[in-house]
Amino acid sequence: MLKSWQEEAQVKGFSDSIPSIFQGAIIESAKLSPEQKVIALTFDDGPWPESTAQVLDILKKNQIKGTFFVVGENVKNFPNLLKQEIAEGHVIGNHTWHHWYQFLNPQAAAYEIDHTEDVIFKTTGLKTNLFRPPGGVMHNGVVDYARNSKYAIILWSSDSVDYSRPAVSRLISNVFREAKPGGIVLMHDGGGNRSRTVQALPEIIANFRNQGYRFVTIPELLQIQDQNQKFIANKK
The stretch near Zn ion (CB under 5 A) out of 45-53, 100-108, 154-162, 210-218 is: 45-53
Of the candidate residues 22, 30, 39, 44, the single one contacting Zn ion (CB under 5 A):
44
From the list 16, 90, 188, 189, the catalytic residue is 188
Side chain identity, residue 176: F
Nearest in space to 228 (alpha carbons), one of 164, 182, 171: 182
Report DSSP state, residue 181: T
Residue 45 or residue 112: which is nearer to Zn ion going by CB? 45
Residue-wise DSSP of 24-81? T-EESS----TT--EEEEEEES---TTHHHHHHHHHHHTT---EEEE-HHHHHH-HHH
* Cis peptide, bond prior to residue 134, ω within 30 of zero: no
By CB under 5 A, tell whether 45 contacts Zn ion.
yes
By CB under 5 A, tell whether 117 contacts Zn ion.
no
Contact set for Zn ion, span 156-215 (CB under 5 A) = none
Residue 98 or residue 180: which is nearer to Zn ion going by CB? 98
Report DSSP state, residue 194: -
Of the candidate residues 46, 134, 190, 219, the single one contacting Zn ion (CB under 5 A):
134
The stretch near Zn ion (CB under 5 A) out of 118-126, 129-137, 207-215, 217-225 is: 129-137
Q: Which residues are catalytic?
A: 44, 188
Residues that bind Zn ion (CB under 5 A): 44-45, 134
